[in-house]
Structure 1
Amino acid sequence: MSVRGAVAAGTTAEAAAGTAAVAAPPPGPLLMGVRHHGPGSARAVLAALEAHRPAVLLVEGPPEADAVVDLAAHEEMRPPVALLAHAADDPGRAVFWPLAGFSPEWVAIRWALEHGVPVRFFDLPAAHTLAPGAAGGAREEGREGEEEAGEPSLDPLRVLAETAGHDDPERWWEDAVEHRGTPVRTAGGRPADPYAPFAALADAMTALREAYEGTSGTAPGIPPGTASDGAGRRRDAVREAHMRLRLREARREFGDDRVAVVCGAWHVPALTARTTATADRRLLRGLPKVRVEITWVPWTNERLARRSGYGAGITSPGWYGHLFAAPDRPVERWMAEAARLLREEGRTASSAFSVSPAHVIEAVRLAGALAALRGRPLPGLGETVDAVRAVMCDGSDLPLALVHDRLVVGDALGTVPPDAPAVPLQRDLARLQRSLRLRPEARERELGLDLREANAAARSRLLHRLRLLGVDWGEPVRTRTGGTGTFRETWRLHWRPELSVRIAEAGVWGTTVAAASCARAEALARDAASLAETTELAERCLLAGLGEALPAVMRALADRAALDADVGHLAQALPALVRSVRYGDVRGTDAAALREVAEGIAERVCVGLPPACAGLGAAGAAEMRGHVEAAHRAVVLLGREELLTRWRSVLRTLAGRDRPPAVPGLLRGRCARLLLDDGRLPEDEAARLMGLALSPGAPPEDAAGWIEGFVADGGMLLVHDERLLALVDGWLAGIPEEAFTGVLPLLRRTFAAYGPGVRRTVGELVRRGARAPGGPVAAWEAVPGFGEEPDPERADAVLPTLRLLLGGAGPAADETARRGRG
């Protein structure tokens, strides 16, 4: 039979299923070919099992899962979940078998367990799939007919849809299967035939495989010319040989008519092929094998979707879950849920997006009209989404994206009972999650922590320890306020199924999160390649509260600090050390040893910085500027007055060294600015240094670098200090024409960093006129908001407001306010 003929016959059989009397069960085993994660297939499987009542159920999946299949009936097991198998000696080699609540396999397993029917998985064992060099290798299970990357793959669903004249396989499957209910009775009151859908699909797949493999089908799997047919066919052949062997065992044990099979429809023709057990065993002979461990893990709707990279996924798991849970009036229920979601997200705050019951009614009518225009039996996902966009979202895709993420895909995260097999590290993590009330969620969310609270500090330590282990459940983010306080943290949490594999991998470091992260930190300290890497590790240990790992980290840090003479490396390592000292204080950790190392490195930076800054080129000066700024912040945060005094002396030396061996203008200007901001450089001295840097004898490129270093990140300085602005303006106006072109890019880069308001104000001040350096103040035109002397009456007008801000009243508060005003 041709593929087109099989599709036509299947359509006829589908239509007849609602009118014909129930047929007798097919002879031999009941082979139910399905589409993975298809709610229509799940309903058909459930109806067939109720009619057939088998004695054993075979399901596509690894036989190792027979040991944990009973957990599917546990009251705390909530799909989506997945079977996870990994190599015992290499947990990174892992494979998942995901199951949703609407997956035919899950529905069949739950039916069998509820009725006391044994469940056996009969696919190729994971011990072979995960072995190095095995056909197929370790990967997530793919949809029917998918071949390995790099090989031409066959999508049976697409081929059948195209044969039936449809260009969208998802829409064709929706029309042919998902919207086809499973009536308990026919129109005449007689029982419907629950087996017809599977017979029709088996005929279509048989014709498709014959066309694809180029053989009449006595031995589906590997056609003649095996060597050139790709790893995908080889893998299918091996898998199907094992399926046939397990099927023969079940038939001998329970009888031909008492066995039910649920597998991908692509494999059904192979299960009826005329092969011998000897030939099948020959295919399996010599396969590589490893020891594996298997368990259940939570899964998410996002990972069920194709966009997440899972080959056997579907584009709309949330929609399919809705179709399975609400077979009656699914469109009406869907529209009501979309309206509820939009209202909860505050769309009613804008009249443009207000959603009322009338919108729901109109959306349902529009979806039905669209389905009729497009020749579909019922409104599908495309019609419902189009109706929501037009009626509830006023044609905007912005609110529609919310509907897509939360309803079409969904944010469901499954749960697994605590007694499921797991590595000790996973059990300890689950215990900590319960005690800290930190539940994993599939939806990304932010978590703010006040480290002065015991529970928040414990949560922070857990998240930092997991990051050390490579389990990135949480990612630190900058706070919205941009504050520099050390007692607050903000985390972005997002639990992903693959983290279960990372936890299994991290189990080699220990049986608890604390012990494993400590051992991992000590290993990282031994392997650290640079001083900066070691100091960062010390900071991470303090953040994670790993006091036991600090001695090993400190030894490595001291060794590398003693041997590293590069000032840039020392300055780069200093900030992390100083942050560690501060974090140690707020978290109650003894950071005295870190402070000693940090102060020693700061002393070495003070000694080595002046010679390291001399004679640098443009690129070297830009890099050194970052080191100087980082070291300055670190020394200020250390708070040791003697060290701070010495550091400021180094900055003064660098700011004034304009003779050979000269310090680049970028660094001289930056050092002068740092001193000015700290109040250690008088304004007159700053003006003098600027005048020297911008004198006619100074090279224009060096002068421009000085300006860049001095005014970078601080355009308001030019707004409020007329002398500095006049110096810059006078220097710029006096640049020779031949040198102006070379200076302009540097100046554009500097002033481009200022905000639009600052640039506008500076331009307005220059337009109104600036006095020459050393000229009288009267040369300036009167500028609103600027004056030579403060205006006491205007200043006193703000005293009541300042008094409220300072939280006091009376003369003392007024005096404090006046001092701040002055």
Structure 2
Amino acid sequence: MAETAPEPAGTYVLGIRHHGPGSARAVLAELDRIRPHAVLIEGPADATPIIGALVDPGMAPPVAVLGYAADNPAKAAFWPFAEFSPEWQAMRWAVKAGVPVEFCDLPTSQVLAHRDDAPADEPRAPSRADPIGTLAATAGYDDPERWWDDVIETRGEGTGFAAITEAMTALRTAAEPFELGEPSAEEVHERRREAHMRQVLRKALKRPGVERVAIVCGAWHAPALSGKLPPATADSKLLRGMPKLRSKLAWVPWTHSRLAAASGYGAGVISPGWYHHLFTTPDDVTVRWLIHQATLLRDKDIDISSAHIIETARLADALAVMRRRPLAGLTEISEATLAVMCQGDSGLADLMYREAVIGERLGGVPDDAPVVPLQADLTATARSARLKVEPTARELVVDLRRPADNAKSLLLHRLSVLGVEWGTPLEVSGTGTFKEGWTLRWRPEFVIDVVMASVWGTTVPAAATAKVVDQASSGGSLDRVTGALEAALLAELPDALPPVLTALHERVAVDHDVLHLMSALPALGRARRYGDVRGTDTAALGSVASSLLLRVCIGVPAAISNLNDDAAAEFKRGLDAVHQTVSLLDEEDRDRWAAAVRVIADRSDVNGLLVGRATRLLLDGGEIDAADAARRLGLALSAGATPVAKAQWIEGFLGDGGLLLVHDRHLLAVIDRWLIGLGDQDFTDVLPLLRRTFGEFDAGVRRNIGNRVASLGEAPVATAPTTTVDAALAAPAVAVVAQILGLP
């Protein structure tokens, strides 16, 4: 068979839609036909050296080129590619064919500098019409996505690049009248981009042996690169003096959801999962797609048979015929899926849209790809801890007594310190402290967070240590310092403890606000408890907590004077938090706190909310008995106080639990007599407070209280004597339970 004559020399501009599977197929077909000597791709020119990594077995799209400022990683930009992206396929074709390939757009150094220099308050020029939308409207379509899907993506045969360039030329010509006057910064940037592309094209055409050059770029730019190029001097003048900054580049994993237009990505598509299917499925596109959806539904225990698939395919084809579409597109398939597979359940259809149409495919890059040292350490640590990087959310419960689980917990806590929220804490059932719950979900933008965190160190432990120390020593509130201390213990950063404790001592010495001191104690208590669980030496925390508690106890009498209702409510929350923390401290600290609480309970000039709460804490702690509590309640409800003050006392005393009234008939009778004796106006005044108090109780508790009130007039029922516990016999069982719970 005679060989096909080569195409004539010249420039072949392939105007594409970013992330379009039909465009990708057309580009591959055109490259096979043209057999160019050089391929240029729209993308950052300084990323050309990393194109060769595309053919590495470890490279799996979707991936993105990450460009960031070397001295400020927060300044970053992404250029993502999916398997169905025309640029990706063109690069792979060129690398495999041994054809020189390079990016031709402005380099990252100038793109990032432009973002810094663009004035935020500059008046925006009249925006150009969406070219795809304009062409769709001209063809009689009200949906640009549907038009492009019909003409390019779904059909997929032929190229039509000359027609696309001609259409874009007409659109750009029609838009020229709107671009009169002084151009905006964005318009100047667009002109510079096209000028840079032409300059790269000129250099490529001058290389020895290069006769045919293929350029793969967004369709809008095709007219600027087609035909006879303008003089190079004009482009050089436009590019002269552009600001630059030092930048670095790397390949990073990406996801389909981040390619979706719904994510806010400017060049995003509405259906990356569907487009991936279109590009990778050579035939029976509709049926294979429906099989994929049926599998997803079956995984969720939804009964889907082959009959559902057949009927859905028939309905989709019928809808396409009725609408005079060449083939059933995503719209028809989605409507048929809703009607047949989902049986009209829009919620289930939305789930299918998220999981199938958008999808959550996560790409990968080779292990030896250039990354910052912190990212390399993170990857190695995650692999060692058997933490899989996944884009979908999943729950993880770890047991801190197991070395493998403890390693997972430490990595997640350390990343949280660095601002990489791969895992978010999840509440787990049980009373022990050895279990930890997490919800794991990796997002592509975490790569930027890792790059930004690399300023603290080259390994995860070193970076987390440096950041915790800086957080504690940089000043701020006492809460910030204690938070840093708690983070250091949870993340097991022993090198951070001495400087953090020093900062804590210094901050405590100058902070005289009792509420601030009270808010710091719970963090110390939690830190000490989790330190014990992890086997960390937390002896120094005991002295810090004791010193802090002493200052709280000394300052309480003055702090509770002359508090209004809002301030009293805030102080009550601090009171509860400290009381829970004190149980983790030594006996001397518990006695000191009990004395401070008794001071509050004995005061008659303090907001009733605090006095009632202090009385309840004493009762629960065994410092007073039920008879004393009833006496105090009777005094609080005496004629000397206002009805509102009495209701506040009851609110503080009962708190958010009413079981006390279920079990103590005497206390219930005191409150019942007080309520019965209220006048109409007094009852109206205290009703909102009482409703708020009793409304916090569970429905079962309220029902039991009602039953007890109804039986207050009845004679008490004799109860059987309580069984005596033999301490000697119970001691072995108590010891085993204490060991299980990790108690001393």
TM-score grouping bracket, smaller chain normalisation: over 0.9
What CA deviation, in whole Å up to 9, does each residue of 1:154-198 have, x standing for no partner?
42211211121111111111111111132xxxxxxxxxxx5x411
Q: Residue 221 of structure 2 is aligned with which of 267, 276, 295?
A: 267
Q: CA RMSD in A?
A: 2.5
Q: Residue 166 of structure 2 is aligned with which of 197, 203, 207?
A: 203
Q: Does 1:214 align with 2:177?
A: yes
The unaligned stretches of length 5 or more in structure 2 are 738-744
Aligned residues of 1:450 and 1:489 also touching (Cα < 8 A)? yes
Return the alpha-carbon distance in structure 2 between the equivalents of residues 430 and 137 of structure 1: 38
**Which residue number corresponds to residue 250 of structure 2?**
295
Q: Does 1:789 align with 2:712?
A: no
Q: Does 1:727 align with 2:674?
A: no
List aligned pairs for 1:507-518, cutoff 5 A. Answer: 507-518=454-465
| Displacement of 1:450 | 0.7
| Displacement of 1:446 | 1.5
3-state SS of 2:678 partner = coil
| Displacement of 1:769 | 5.4
Q: Does 1:591 align with 2:538?
A: yes
Of the structure 1 ranges 675-684 and 244-253, higher mean CA displacement relative to structure 2 is found in: 675-684
Alpha-carbon distance change, 148 to 587 in structure 1, aligned in 2, over 3 angstroms: farther
What CA deviation, in whole Å up to 9, does each residue of 1:605-659 have, x standing for no partner?
1222122112211111101001110110110122x1122122122222211221x
3-state SS of 1:96 partner = strand
List aligned pairs for 1:439-518, cutoff 5 A. Answer: 439-479=388-428, 481=429, 483-518=430-465
* 1:283 aligned partner, one-letter code: L
Aligned residues of 1:62 and 1:122 also touching (Cα < 8 A)? yes
Aligned residues of 1:85 and 1:96 also touching (Cα < 8 A)? yes
Q: Residue 566 of structure 2 is aligned with which of 614, 619, 622?
A: 619
**Which residue number corresponds to residue 736 of structure 1?**
679
Return the alpha-carbon distance in structure 1 between the equivalents of residues 719 and 39 of structure 2: 91
Return the alpha-carbon distance in structure 1 between the equivalents of residues 82 and 618 of structure 2: 63
Aligned residues of 2:125 and 2:184 also touching (Cα < 8 A)? no
Alpha-carbon distance change, 675 to 747 in structure 1, aligned in 2, over 3 angstroms: same
What CA deviation, in whole Å up to 9, does each residue of 1:664-691 have, x standing for no partner?
1101111111222223321111111111
List aligned pairs for 1:4-83, cutoff 5 A. Answer: 25=7, 28-83=10-65
Q: Residue 318 of structure 2 is aligned with which of 369, 380, 386?
A: 369
| Displacement of 1:707 | 0.9
Return the alpha-carbon distance in structure 2 between the equivalents of residues 44 and 111 of structure 1: 13
What CA deviation, in whole Å up to 9, does each residue of 1:548-569 have, x standing for no partner?
0111101100011111121111
Q: Does 1:758 align with 2:701?
A: yes
**Which residue number corresponds to residue 387 of structure 1?**
336
Aligned residues of 1:135 and 1:234 also touching (Cα < 8 A)? no
3-state SS of 1:131 partner = helix
Return the alpha-carbon distance in structure 1 between the equivalents of residues 125 and 659 of structure 2: 58
Alpha-carbon distance change, 134 to 573 in structure 1, aligned in 2, over 3 angstroms: closer
Return the alpha-carbon distance in structure 2 between the equivalents of residues 617 and 77 of structure 1: 64
**Which residue number corresponds to residue 157 of structure 1?**
132
**Which residue number corresponds to residue 231 of structure 2?**
276
Return the alpha-carbon distance in structure 2 between the equivalents of residues 408 and 421 of structure 1: 32
Q: Residue 305 of structure 2 is aligned with which of 353, 356, 364?
A: 356
**Which residue number corresponds to residue 602 of structure 1?**
549
Q: Does 1:656 align with 2:620?
A: no
Q: Residue 592 of structure 2 is aligned with which of 646, 654, 666?
A: 646
Alpha-carbon distance change, 691 to 634 in structure 1, aligned in 2, over 3 angstroms: same
What CA deviation, in whole Å up to 9, does each residue of 1:459-487 have, x standing for no partner?
211111111111111111222x2x45321
* 1:756 aligned partner, one-letter code: A
Return the alpha-carbon distance in structure 1 between the equivalents of residues 212 and 394 of structure 2: 50
Q: Residue 326 of structure 1 is aligned with which of 273, 277, 281?
A: 281
What CA deviation, in whole Å up to 9, does each residue of 1:14-37 have, x standing for no partner?
xxxxxxxx9985762111000000
| Displacement of 1:359 | 0.8
- Sequence identity percentage: 51
3-state SS of 1:60 partner = strand
* 1:322 aligned partner, one-letter code: H
**Which residue number corresponds to residue 263 of structure 2?**
308
What CA deviation, in whole Å up to 9, does each residue of 1:482-529 have, x standing for no partner?
x45321111111111111111111111111111111111111111130
* 2:602 aligned partner, one-letter code: G
List aligned pairs for 1:160-199, cutoff 5 A. Answer: 160-182=135-157, 194=158, 196-199=159-162
Return the alpha-carbon distance in structure 2 between the equivalents of residues 203 and 346 of structure 1: 52
Of the structure 1 ranges 640-649 and 577-586, higher mean CA displacement relative to structure 2 is found in: 640-649
Q: Residue 371 of structure 2 is aligned with which of 422, 438, 443?
A: 422
* 1:83 aligned partner, one-letter code: V
What CA deviation, in whole Å up to 9, does each residue of 1:416-469 have, x standing for no partner?
001111111111111112211112111111111111011111121111111111
3-state SS of 1:61 partner = strand
Return the alpha-carbon distance in structure 2 between the equivalents of residues 231 and 484 of structure 1: 60
Of the structure 1 ranges 38-47 and 466-475, higher mean CA displacement relative to structure 2 is found in: 466-475
List aligned pairs for 1:514-593, cutoff 5 A. Answer: 514-593=461-540
Aligned residues of 2:62 and 2:255 also touching (Cα < 8 A)? yes
Return the alpha-carbon distance in structure 2 between the equivalents of residues 161 and 721 of structure 1: 77
Aligned residues of 1:58 and 1:122 also touching (Cα < 8 A)? yes
Return the alpha-carbon distance in structure 2 between the equivalents of residues 208 and 525 of structure 1: 59
| Displacement of 1:390 | 1.4
Alpha-carbon distance change, 150 to 653 in structure 1, aligned in 2, over 3 angstroms: farther
TM-score under structure 2 normalisation? 0.93
Q: Does 1:116 align with 2:116?
A: no
Aligned residues of 1:442 and 1:494 also touching (Cα < 8 A)? yes
Aligned residues of 2:657 and 2:696 also touching (Cα < 8 A)? no
| Displacement of 1:576 | 0.3
3-state SS of 1:106 partner = helix
**Which residue number corresponds to residue 189 of structure 1?**
none
Alpha-carbon distance change, 153 to 696 in structure 1, aligned in 2, over 3 angstroms: farther
| Displacement of 1:255 | 6.1
Q: Residue 339 of structure 1 is aligned with which of 294, 297, 305?
A: 294
| Displacement of 1:151 | 6.6
Aligned residues of 2:611 and 2:649 also touching (Cα < 8 A)? yes
Alpha-carbon distance change, 150 to 513 in structure 1, aligned in 2, over 3 angstroms: farther
Return the alpha-carbon distance in structure 2 between the equivalents of residues 150 and 296 of structure 1: 35
3-state SS of 1:689 partner = helix
What CA deviation, in whole Å up to 9, does each residue of 1:294-326 have, x standing for no partner?
010000111011111111111110011011111
* 2:568 aligned partner, one-letter code: A
TM-score under structure 1 normalisation? 0.85
List aligned pairs for 1:64-143, cutoff 5 A. Answer: 64-131=46-113
Return the alpha-carbon distance in structure 2 between the equivalents of residues 529 and 485 of structure 1: 33
3-state SS of 2:439 partner = strand
Aligned residues of 2:95 and 2:101 also touching (Cα < 8 A)? yes
3-state SS of 1:262 partner = strand
Q: Does 1:438 align with 2:387?
A: yes
